[in-house]
Amino acid sequence: MSFKLSYESVILDCDDLKILESSEWFNDKLLTFIGEYSMNVMNSGDEKEIHVFTPSETEMIRHSGSDEEVEMYFGMLGCSETPLIAWIVNNNQDVTRAYGGSHWSLLVFDRKTNRFYHFDSSAGYNTYSAETLMKKSRKLVNAPVQKSLRPERCLQQSNSSDCGLHVAQYLATLVEEKDVTSIEKLQKIEKTREYWRNLILNFEN
């Protein structure tokens, strides 16, 4: 089967579909699509209700050298008043290694409560990466100083490869409910690999 989908900043192909047809680890491209798709769904009205930073954007922020550098690249996005902001987090520590890292999680800033939340399907595994990201994103999103970041209660993965699937579900739930606490109430994965595969294939049609 030949397949190619261009959506926003990402191009998906057969290799990406194969990930969804198996139990393989979600790659950057799939989570970029899911992040941008989710953002577009929630921002379909007149007001910008959420901004989702893709994996590559998140890495740029996390490995940035200064607040000024972050502002230079992302200040034009106008996230200082956006109600919900989400970052798709990876634990890659080597900036020279493309598609590195071994775990995905989701960092969320909720302006209603004025604090950051970290949803990690392997609780605590990505805390260091998420804390670093939080500190480097604080001025960009106009957030108060938050000394620490604890893993929030959330649905946990039962294998070593479904962290990306959990991030996709957390993000989909956030978009549907527009409430960060709804992620804590999740009992099961509702948006399965098959769901995302069919969604992507329907874009082709």
- Domains of the chain with bracketed CATH: 47-191 (3.40.395.10)
What confidence score (pLDDT) does residue 79 get? 96
What confidence score (pLDDT) does residue 205 get? 52
Q: Which residue has the tokens 């998140």?
A: 58
Global pTM reads: 0.95
What confidence score (pLDDT) does residue 203 get? 84
Q: Which residue has the tokens 């926003």?
A: 8
Instruction: Give 3-state DSSP helix, strand, coil % of the chain, rounded to 5.
Output: 40, 15, 45
What confidence score (pLDDT) does residue 97 get? 66
What confidence score (pLDDT) does residue 45 get? 74
What confidence score (pLDDT) does residue 204 get? 59
What does the alpha-carbon distance between residue 40 and residue 54 come to, in Å, rounded to a whole number? Answer: 13
User: String of b and e for 178-192 (b: at least 16 CB within 10 Å)?
Assistant: eebeebeebeebebe
What confidence score (pLDDT) does residue 174 get? 96
Beta strands at 50-53 and 84-90: parallel, antiparallel or unpaired: parallel
Interval 133-173: pLDDT, tens: 999 999 999 999 998 998 999 999 999 999 999 999 999 99
The amino acid occupying position 185 is K
What confidence score (pLDDT) does residue 144 get? 95
DSSP-assigned beta bridge partners for residue 13: 4
What confidence score (pLDDT) does residue 176 get? 94
Under-50 pLDDT residues of the chain: none
What confidence score (pLDDT) does residue 96 get? 63
What confidence score (pLDDT) does residue 46 get? 72
What does the alpha-carbon distance between residue 105 and residue 123 come to, in Å, rounded to a whole number? Answer: 9
